Structure 1
Amino acid sequence: MTATKILHAVIPLVADLAQDLPERERLRRLLAALRTLLPADAVALLRLEGEWLRPVAIDGLVPDALGRRFRLAEHPRLAQLLAAGQAMRFEPDSSLPDPYDGLIAHHGPLDVHDCMGCVLQTGGLSWGLLTLDALEPGRFADAAALDMLQAFSNLAAATVATAERVQQLTQMAREGAHPTLTESNRSEPEMLGHSPAMRQLKKDIGLVAASDLSVLITGETGTGKELVAQAVHAQSARADKPLVSINCAALPDNLVESELFGHVRGAFTGAQSERRGKFEQADQGTLFLDEVGELSLPVQAKLLRVLQSGQLQRLGSDREHHVDVRVVAATNRDLAEEVRAGRMRADFYHRLNVYPLQVPALRERDSDVLLLAGYFLEENRSRLGLGGLRLDAQAQSALLLQPWPGNVRELEHLISRAVLKALSRQTTAASSDSQAKRPRMVSIGVQDLWEESPASGPAPASSSAVPKELPVPEAADDTGLRERLQSYERQLVADALTRHQGSWAAAARELQMDRANLQRTAKRLGIERS
């Protein structure tokens, strides 16, 4: 019976190895097969990256778990699993904290009571871990469970190796098989997100990074434009050369030329020695011009020459210097409108805008909100030395329904504030005397994310305030969080359109959304345009 069960789970996975599947789908099938073999409430596949373990696929955990990063020094269970080199199980009464306490989906702030895991090895090296967790003590007590997990780990290792190889071949085909772009020698900043908008952005980054074209990154404030610039540099042939950044908005007009092109001794009062500018510092590498829309017209004119020919002169010198620099610029302004208004030179704009990259707003990234929230929660947990941090179901719903005018930066600050509020509230509630003790598990609710001011009433929507009691509709027991949220969104959009007799513009104003974004949301929810 057991052998038959294993065959039924393994045969489809073996067939998948020869299929051209998206990486996420391949790994999802892997974890689904594992859960058919072993009675786990949650399974996770984590990749080893230096001193960190990063979840790349989860099944049975809350969505924000996929955004968390586990430092080995802070998670002794994961460190022991890696050190063991083979499948091992922790006794239910183990005193070691479990990183998944409170993170099992649909079960609230419950602790894990049975845990086992196994190292995955590819090419003779530790690739990462498979972990299985159960809320019921003794779920994995059967000795055959460890043997089954150990046997399954070999197939899992082959699956992840196939997924990586397919990804590398796709990348090489897209970028002309450039030898410097292999995974082994790339040090790329992580860009969190699996939404269609982020997948398209990552694809565009990989496409343009292999060239030397100038890149103009646009997007609202707080979307992560600097991170995109770092990714372009990291994936380019210049990755081992300098990436020099300069904030154009912070440059005084009288120092712009010196900062960009350098100066010689005596060029101006205070110039006591010769100095290279940012362009020369970035020679052979990349120069990132942040807030490029803030540069004045005279400075734009002086930049044109170096953008066109790579020739520059230090301030106070007649000597020519030649630089080989790839320019990446970023702005939250509409530069085409700036050109029409006469605040930007058209030739300068076109020199920058050779390959545009639009960074999507957070409200356009769907469930990436919870993934990012998980990342910031783990950062705060580590910084504050807490046992665990979790978002309750209502807080998750509230985060997904926000418009996020401040984007990722707003979310980061919101989570940091909410952690401190929840910690203070739960520490006070748990203390019966003057010696308050920190709770091991801190749960964040809507009241920690937003609160109303008694004096002035609810904060305006631009301050990201929501009601303390979010009216999430009731649903059947077999309906997940995503389905319930979609149903609620569908109801809100349909009601707004009904109230405004089908006017998209009026409904968008009521819902505090961009009209085009509302129409895209309606299309996703299956609401037909009348």
Structure 2
Amino acid sequence: MTTSATLHALVPLVADLAEDLPEHERLRRLLAALRTVLPADAAALLRLEGEWLRPVAIDGLVPDALGRRFRIAEHPRFAQLLAAGQALRFPPGSPLPDPYDGLVAQPHAALEVHDCMGCVLQAGGRPWGLLTLDALDAGRFAGPAALDVLQAFSNLAAATVATAERLRQLRAQAHQAPPSEPPASAQRMLLGQSPAMRQLQRDVALVAASELNVLITGETGTGKELVAHAVHAQSARAARPLVSINCAALPDNLVESELFGHARGAFTGALSERRGKFEQAHQGTLFLDEVGELSLPVQAKLLRVLQSGQLQRLGSDREHRVDVRVIAATNRDLAAEVRAGRMRADFYHRLSVYPLHVPALRERDSDVLLLAGFFLEENRSRLGLRGLRLDAAAQSALLARSWPGNVRELEHLISRGVLRALSRTPHATAPGRARMLTLGAADLAGTVAAAAPAHAPAAPAPAHEAEAPGLRQAVLAYERRLIEDSLQRHGGRWAAAARELRMDRGNLQRLARRLGLGRP
């Protein structure tokens, strides 16, 4: 590439350093510019987080690559790049597996990457992460000039990520929130780039800096516990314990003992004094999962602790003072529970000082592929595979799904699909023969693949199913009736029906087509 062309690509990036851009847009522009300077099929920026590398921006890779977490010990190319400390190109015939095999987003292209180079980015005098370039044909990066250009470009890339980091810190200070540190491991975290998830992440950062009690609501399987962990991790109590308790799993006769503790002899089997969850969470956070399952008498006793910070162990008259922040979660409509008399109004208002709603997966657009990438990499690591990918049909099937079971359903679906793919290629994990495994729509059969195409009406059920409909047929009929009734109430207006059904309009229209309601 000529010098003038290189300058033409780099000058806008220098100007961007002074602009207040969203971080993802700033990094996307960086990678797009790099691919105009060097002839790569894909580029990626990965942040170093303990023993893991997390992609924060990609260009030319499939969408699910952004959701993956790469353990450095399992990817020798990444380890060598980190150890080199400067721009490094791997020989085209290198036997080391490439983490991006099968992930370059070019239809009908070879799955394996044949030319790869990268370099470490430094920020604040320490490694921040990696910048990588990949090509599908050998010799694309031949010659020393490519390495020199990449090394020079890495300085601008380091300045770009440093600018993004500083802007994040300034925004955190503006909200009086401490800037969050990257996790030291690939513990599950809030993933997503949809507008709904970006808003949730902003709300989490805002409330985490306060001492307010938080009520997390959302459907089953949306990740409410992850939100609770995120609030705690970004709070001033992050160094103190986060104690969790599943209220739905507690027998009625043990609820008080678990929450408040008990004195010796308080009941049969109480052979010693015991601290409850509140005392264990002193100066930290207590997470009450499925809080809507608590009985009214227990709610009354919890209310006293929330109001005064004082409790009595079961069987004891002694007062104990605790300093605890409470985060509660439920999939129920607690306001409706109050109206029905199953929840105390004062207890509800004490809990929901700051409500957080976790969006359903069907409201998160293409986040499904990002999350699928996370679960694919988990399965790849667990099974010792060289690579694990989705073909185009499988990606389309995932995007077409309505996801009634949300993220948990997606996780289980991917795990089942991997096992099915392994069953037809049993040698994929044989010693010394680990290779890439591709999941197709057929591997997702029975769930995603069984859904009718978006443009086709629902197929009539066989006669024996019509006489005794199964669960799937009953669910489809129920969904169809709900949509039809809502449209009728709103005069055929899809936007109004979507608001009533708490769905994205586009997702509602796609679901309606699959249910045979015609093209909206």
Given the two structures, how large is their TM-score scaled by the length of structure 2?
0.87
Q: Is residue 2 of structure 1 aligned with residue 2 of structure 2?
A: yes
Q: Which residue of 2 aligns with 1:199?
A: 198
Q: Which residue of 2 aligns with 1:17?
A: 17
Amino acid at match of 1:100: Y
- CA distance in structure 1 between the aligned counterparts of 2:486 and 2:277, rounded to whole angstroms: 56
- CA distance in structure 1 between the aligned counterparts of 2:448 and 2:71, rounded to whole angstroms: 33
Q: Which residue of 2 aligns with 1:446?
A: 441
Aligned-pair CA distance for 1:106:
2.5
Q: Which residue of 2 aligns with 1:145?
A: 146
Aligned-pair CA distance for 1:143:
1.8
2:362/2:507 contact within 8 Å kept? no
1:186/1:239 contact within 8 Å kept? no
- CA distance in structure 2 between the aligned counterparts of 1:192 and 1:115, rounded to whole angstroms: 27
Q: Is residue 163 of structure 1 aligned with residue 156 of structure 2?
A: no
The 3 A distance-change label for structure 1 pair 15 and 472 is farther
The 3 A distance-change label for structure 1 pair 279 and 186 is farther
- CA distance in structure 2 between the aligned counterparts of 1:331 and 1:403, rounded to whole angstroms: 22
- CA distance in structure 2 between the aligned counterparts of 1:447 and 1:215, rounded to whole angstroms: 42
Q: Which moved more, 1:84-93 or 1:102-111?
A: 102-111
The 3 A distance-change label for structure 1 pair 106 and 183 is same
- CA distance in structure 1 between the aligned counterparts of 2:2 and 2:212, rounded to whole angstroms: 58
- CA distance in structure 1 between the aligned counterparts of 2:425 and 2:33, rounded to whole angstroms: 39
SS at match of 1:279: helix
Aligned-pair CA distance for 1:123:
1.7
Residues 75-154 of structure 1: matches in 2 within 5 Å? 75-107=75-107, 110-154=111-155
The 3 A distance-change label for structure 1 pair 471 and 287 is closer
1:258/1:277 contact within 8 Å kept? yes
Residues 172-187 of structure 1: matches in 2 within 5 Å? 172-174=173-175, 176=176, 180-181=178-179, 183=181
The 3 A distance-change label for structure 1 pair 325 and 469 is closer
2:49/2:183 contact within 8 Å kept? no
1:192/1:372 contact within 8 Å kept? yes
1:263/1:314 contact within 8 Å kept? yes
1:150-209 deviations in Å (ceiling 9; x for gaps): 0000000000010111011111111x2x5x545389999621111100000011111111
Q: Is residue 466 of structure 1 aligned with residue 452 of structure 2?
A: no
Q: Which residue of 2 aligns with 1:487?
A: none
SS at match of 2:355: strand
The 3 A distance-change label for structure 1 pair 387 and 468 is farther
- CA distance in structure 2 between the aligned counterparts of 1:142 and 1:276, rounded to whole angstroms: 67
Amino acid at match of 2:116: C
SS at match of 2:45: strand
Q: Which residue of 1 aligns with 2:470?
A: none
1:403/1:512 contact within 8 Å kept? no
Amino acid at match of 1:183: E
2:67/2:372 contact within 8 Å kept? yes
2:45/2:58 contact within 8 Å kept? yes
The 3 A distance-change label for structure 1 pair 516 and 319 is closer
Aligned-pair CA distance for 1:515:
3.6
- CA distance in structure 2 between the aligned counterparts of 1:141 and 1:436, rounded to whole angstroms: 34
1:72/1:78 contact within 8 Å kept? yes
% identity of equivalent residues: 74
Aligned-pair CA distance for 1:423:
1.4
Unaligned 5+ residue runs, structure 1?
452-463, 474-495, 525-529
1:43/1:133 contact within 8 Å kept? yes
Q: Is residue 48 of structure 1 aligned with residue 48 of structure 2?
A: yes
Aligned-pair CA distance for 1:124:
1.7
Q: Which residue of 2 aligns with 1:461?
A: none
Aligned-pair CA distance for 1:107:
3.2
The 3 A distance-change label for structure 1 pair 18 and 336 is same
After TM superposition, the runs of 4+ consecutive aligned structure 1 residues lying more than 4 A away are: 184-189, 435-439, 468-473, 499-508, 511-514, 520-524
Q: Which residue of 2 aligns with 1:420?
A: 419
Aligned-pair CA distance for 1:119:
0.9
Q: Which residue of 2 aligns with 1:476?
A: none
- CA distance in structure 1 between the aligned counterparts of 2:139 and 2:491, rounded to whole angstroms: 58
- CA distance in structure 2 between the aligned counterparts of 1:467 and 1:117, rounded to whole angstroms: 42
SS at match of 1:330: strand
1:47/1:127 contact within 8 Å kept? yes
- CA distance in structure 1 between the aligned counterparts of 2:377 and 2:365, rounded to whole angstroms: 21
Q: Which residue of 1 aligns with 2:517?
A: none
2:65/2:373 contact within 8 Å kept? yes
- CA distance in structure 1 between the aligned counterparts of 2:329 and 2:224, rounded to whole angstroms: 7
Aligned-pair CA distance for 1:521:
4.6
Given the two structures, how large is their TM-score scaled by the length of structure 1?
0.85
- CA distance in structure 2 between the aligned counterparts of 1:208 and 1:512, rounded to whole angstroms: 29
- CA distance in structure 1 between the aligned counterparts of 2:180 and 2:327, rounded to whole angstroms: 22
Aligned-pair CA distance for 1:304:
1.0
Q: Which residue of 2 aligns with 1:386?
A: 385
- CA distance in structure 1 between the aligned counterparts of 2:436 and 2:493, rounded to whole angstroms: 41
Residues 312-327 of structure 1: matches in 2 within 5 Å? 312-327=311-326
Q: Which residue of 2 aligns with 1:368?
A: 367
Aligned-pair CA distance for 1:502:
7.0
Aligned length, in residue pairs: 483
Residues 109-508 of structure 1: matches in 2 within 5 Å? 110-174=111-175, 176=176, 180-181=178-179, 183=181, 190-427=189-426, 440-451=435-446, 464-467=447-450, 503=488
SS at match of 1:370: helix
SS at match of 1:380: helix
SS at match of 1:315: coil
- CA distance in structure 2 between the aligned counterparts of 1:450 and 1:513, rounded to whole angstroms: 31
- CA distance in structure 2 between the aligned counterparts of 1:24 and 1:418, rounded to whole angstroms: 31
- CA distance in structure 2 between the aligned counterparts of 1:518 and 1:202, rounded to whole angstroms: 19
- CA distance in structure 2 between the aligned counterparts of 1:226 and 1:518, rounded to whole angstroms: 24
The 3 A distance-change label for structure 1 pair 347 and 36 is same
Amino acid at match of 2:54: R
- CA distance in structure 1 between the aligned counterparts of 2:165 and 2:269, rounded to whole angstroms: 55
1:87/1:149 contact within 8 Å kept? yes
The 3 A distance-change label for structure 1 pair 344 and 397 is same
1:249/1:292 contact within 8 Å kept? yes
- CA distance in structure 2 between the aligned counterparts of 1:165 and 1:117, rounded to whole angstroms: 24
1:261-297 deviations in Å (ceiling 9; x for gaps): 1111111111110111111111111110000000011
Aligned-pair CA distance for 1:450:
1.7
Amino acid at match of 1:467: A
- CA distance in structure 1 between the aligned counterparts of 2:14 and 2:504, rounded to whole angstroms: 43
1:203-236 deviations in Å (ceiling 9; x for gaps): 1111111111111000000011011011111111
